[in-house]
Structure 1
Amino acid sequence: MRGDQLSEVFDLVEVQGQMSGAFEVRGRWRSRHAIDHPLKLIAMIQGHGRLLTDGLDAPIELGPGDVAILNDRSWLDVQGGGGDGPVTEFVPGPGFNVYGEGGPTGFVVGGHVDLNHVGRTLLGQALPPVGHVRAADTAAAGLHRNLHALAEEARANRIGAAFAIRQYAQLLVLELLRAYIDQAELPPGWLRVMADERLRPALTLMHAEPGRPWSLEELARAAAMSRTSFAERFRAMAGVPPLTYLNRWRMLLAQRALRDGDVRVGSLAARLGYGSESAFSTAFKREVGMSPLRYRSIARRTVPA
């Protein structure tokens, strides 16, 4: 069920993986530049590198198949290669490019994750400033398959490559999060609570029937835990109490419905378990910062990032 919930969240926050560029580089090299996306990906396909960004005291060593995800960082500095020649410095351009000459060859893919504004908040809170998925980890097998397929499409530039790259980049984000969930200690947030086996039955109920007036006792019983133990564990994993999580989940569903459809606010309120349109509007404004109707108006005028 965890996979189903992750897919559901991916749909809600409109996750889109994008390859911003790929490069093959020979000899010693270095690339320093600003980061212009909240979630930046760096994948070392071939060769070795050292990655530094704001907030790191020491560089991260990247080996073949390693992937780093940078969360709300402002710059990166990646260098690698070997040999006796001069260091080739460059800022990668879009598409596939070749830099340097002589010495061992490195191959690097860069990308980013596009999200709607809700997704930026959710994923930003769920990930550390810098995440590192190592190729040696058994959970990364699916990641490597998609990574190498994406890299091959970028390098070969065959007919239909742009379409294929978009699909592989999308799957790459999913596999990256799967691998990271399995190998790292996640900060409190929705990724961590989804990964928790003991809480999963209760989480499944909330996701399946968000409009039902779930009580703490019912959710604790589903998890086969006492009310107190359940509440404490849920807060430790999610960063918020269970019923606060439920309310935020309802608000995510409400935002999608208001963005994508013409549902009446009163009908939406009833569907999500609120006794009146007024109660729903108050809860929505408290969580989102504006009324449902104003949110709908702004969301439909805004071009997605």
Structure 2
Amino acid sequence: MIDPLSEVVRLLQPQAAFANVISGKGNWAVCYAEFGLPSFCIVLDGSCRLTVDGREPITIGVGDFVLLPATPAFTLSSFVPAPPVLLDPRTVASERREHRYGDPIGPPDMRLLGGSFLFDAADPGLLVSLLPSLVHVRDSVRLSQLVQMVGEESADQKPGSEFVMSRLLELLLVEAMRSASGGTAPPGLLRGLGDERLAPALNQMHARVDHAWSVDQLARVAALSRSAFFQRFTRLVGVAPMEYLLAWRMEIAKKLLRGGALSVSEVAERVGYGSTSAFSVAFSRHVGQPPSQYARRPEP
């Protein structure tokens, strides 16, 4: 059985675009402009205040992991107000060094690792569609262990560090997505996976993407009537069952076409289309260009 959550992470292929240590002592504040891309921070020591535009301030402490799938403007600060230093996140991303704020003398009160995710394959909008606008995970033993390993890897920079960091961040992303798979998640795959009736149907849709699924068949998997399943799926996942299946088939098709090992007809069969022409029409309508043209486009 294919696990949909693992499949999404494999499709995204997350890596760290950059990761810098940020530290502070005394009274300090830094205000980052809107970034738009997925970013994260991991608190290594101490604590500070995080204020994301449009939200109340929250306290983040050692071991906490924060993920902002679309990264609006935000402020990091000490607990005593201070005039903020205005920063462009793209400029910070280009500087591979520790950024120290407040009192420059002596050990800092707070240290965190802040950075951005880069996705090798899929549109980062896929992650935004799966997660709340802010994910804050705390008091997780597994997460604390991962955070400690990320901190050690960032500090040591041993041979193979880039590969190890990518795998650790992949695990952190999975943990963040797991934490958001309950009732607090926005409509989407994670919300559906948190529902005991819809989860089996979603698992089957992902495990057998080439199957000619109908709403009736999926309703039986979910042990619901057709109408109850359709309404529940649409409310929790945010789209109708067949619309979700089409979107996921197109994501898989894009990945296979980018790989270049399969013909368009073979890709069509892999994602449940008995007719290459029917697949081409569906793909063109969904993606905006024919599959043959998409397969030839240069890698981003």
Q: Aligned partners of 2:84 and 2:74: how far apart in 1?
A: 16
Paired letter, 2:149: A
Moved more, 106-115 or 67-76: 67-76
Residues 284 and 159 (structure 1 numbering): CA distance in 2 closer, same or farther, change over 3 Å?
closer
- 1:28 aligns with 27
User: Aligned to 2:112, which of 95, 108, 113?
Assistant: 108
Residue 156 of structure 2 is aligned to residue 148 of structure 1: no
CA separation in 1, counterparts of 2:36 and 2:260? 28
CA drift of 1:151 comes to 1.0
Displacement after TM superposition at 1:18 (Å): 4.8
Q: Is the 8 A contact 1:22 1:109 kept in 2?
A: yes
Match in the other structure for 1:202? 201
8 Å Cα contact 2:47/2:109 also seen in 1: no
Amino acid at match of 1:176: A
Query: Is residue 21–residue 96 contact of structure 1 (8 Å, CA) maintained in 2?
Result: yes
Give the structure 1 partner of residue 60 of structure 2. 62
**1:1-305 → structure 2 map (5 Å cutoff):** 4-36=3-35, 38-56=37-55, 58-80=56-78, 89=85, 93-96=95-98, 100-102=104-106, 105-116=109-120, 118-133=122-137, 135-136=138-139, 140-158=140-158, 160-181=160-181, 185-298=184-297, 301-303=298-300
Alpha carbons of 1:302 and 1:263: their partners in 2 closer, same or farther (altered >3 Å)?
A: same
Helix, strand or coil at the partner of 2:59: strand
Partners of 2:270 and 2:168 in 1: CA distance: 36
Q: What amino acid sits opposite 2:125 in the alignment?
A: T
For residues 236-279 of structure 1, give each alpha carbon's deviation from its aligned partner in whole angstroms, at most 9, with x where no partner exists. 12111111111111111111110002312122223322232111
Q: Deviations over 1:164-190 (max 9, x none)?
A: 3333222222222222335x6000012
Taking the aligned partners of 2:123 and 2:222, their CA distance within structure 1 comes to 27
Measured in 1, the distance between the counterparts of 2:86 and 2:290 equals 47
What is the CA–CA distance in structure 1 between the aligned matches of 2:123 and 2:12, rounded to whole Å? 4
Q: Give distance in 1, aligned partners of 2:220 and 2:85.
A: 59
Structure 1 contact 47–81 (Cα < 8 Å) conserved: no
- Identify if the C-alpha distance between structure 1 residues 90 and 65 changes in structure 2 by more than 3 Å, giving closer, same or farther: farther
Q: Which runs of 5+ in 2 are unaligned?
A: none
Counterpart CA distance in 2 for 1:124 and 1:17 is 17
Q: Which is further off, 18-27 or 238-247? A: 18-27
Are the counterparts in 1 of residues 201 and 222 from structure 2 also a CA contact under 8 Å? yes
- Residue 50 of structure 1 aligns to a residue in which SS? strand
Tell me the distance in 2 between the aligned counterparts of 1:16 and 1:37: 17
Secondary structure at the residue paired with 2:11? helix
Question: Residues 81 and 103 of structure 1 are in contact (CA less than 8 Å); yes or no, is this contact kept in structure 2?
Answer: no
Structure 1 portions without partners, runs of 5+: none
Tell me the secondary structure at the aligned position of residue 181 of structure 1: coil
Distance 1:228 1:37 in 2: 38
Could you tell me how far 1:15 is from its partner in structure 2? 2.5
Distance 1:19 1:142, change over 3 A: farther
Q: How many residues align?
A: 292
Map Cα deviations across residues 183-225 of structure 1 (whole Å, 9 max, x no partner): x600001222223221122112211211111111111111111
Q: Which amino acid aligns with 2:299?
A: T
Identity %: 34
TM-score with structure 1 setting the length: 0.85
Q: Write the letter of the residue equivalent to 2:24.
A: V
TM-score, length-scaled by structure 2: 0.86
Structure 1 pair 208/147, CA: closer, same or farther in 2 (3 Å)?
same
- d(CA) in 2 for partners of 1:88 and 1:271? 53
Q: Distance in 2 between matches of 1:167 and 1:270?
A: 32
**1:40 and 1:12 mapped to 2: Cα distance?**
18
Shift in alpha-carbon separation, 1:174–1:260, aligned structure 2, 3 A: same
Task: Tell me which amino acid in the other structure corresponds to 2:77.
Answer: Q
Q: 1:296 to 1:43 in 2, by over 3 A?
A: same
Deviation at 1:48, TM superposition (A): 1.9
Paired residue type of 2:252: L
